[in-house]
Copies of this chain bind each other. A is one copy, B any other.
Amino acid sequence: MRLEEYIQDSQTLVNKRINEYINKKESACKLIKDAMLYSINCGGKRIRPTLMFLTYEFLSTGKKTDIVDAAAAIEMVHTYSLIHDDLPAMDNDDLRRGKPTNHKVFGDGVAVLAGDGLLTDAFHIISSSKKINEEKKGMVIEILSRRAGSSGMVSGQTIDLVSEGTLLKKNSKKELAEQLDYIHQHKTADMIMAACEIGCILADKEKDLRSISDFAQKIGFAFQIADDILDVIGDKKKIGKNGSDKKNNKLTYVSFYGIEKSKELEEKLLSESLKILDMLDGRDEHKKLMKEMAYLLIGRDR
Contact = CB atoms under 8 A, between A and B. Distances in A.
A135 to B, nearest CB: 5
A124 B108 contact: no
A162 interface: yes
Copies in the complex: 2
A152 B27 contact: yes
Interface in A109-124: 109-113, 115-121, 123-124
Interface stretch (A138-146, A214-222, A256-264, A283-291): A138-146
A121 B119 CA distance: 11
Interface string A186-210: 1000000000000000000000000
Contacts of A36: 150
A242 interface: no
Interface of A is mostly: helix
Interface in A82-131: 84, 87-90, 103, 107-113, 115-121, 123-124, 126-128
Contact of A117 (B109, B149, B161): B149
A154 B108 contact: no
Contacts of A80: 116
Contact of A90 (B112, B126, B135, B154): B112
A8 interface: no
Contacts of A22: 150
Contact of A159 (B29, B116, B118, B120): B29
Given A89-B89, A109-B90, A137-B138, A33 B150 contact: yes
Contact of A84 (B25, B112, B144): B112
B124 A149 contact: yes
Interface in A57-86: 80, 84
B29 A113 contact: no
A2 to B, nearest CB: 36
Interface string A137-177: 11101101110111110110111011000000000000000
Nearest to A164: B109
B154 A128 contact: no
4 tightest A-B CB contacts, nearest first: A89-B108, A120-B149, A117-B150, A124-B145
Interface of A: 22, 25-29, 31-33, 36, 80, 84, 87-90, 103, 107-113, 115-121, 123-124, 126-128, 134-135, 137-139, 141-142, 144-146, 148-152, 154-155, 157-159, 161-162, 182, 186
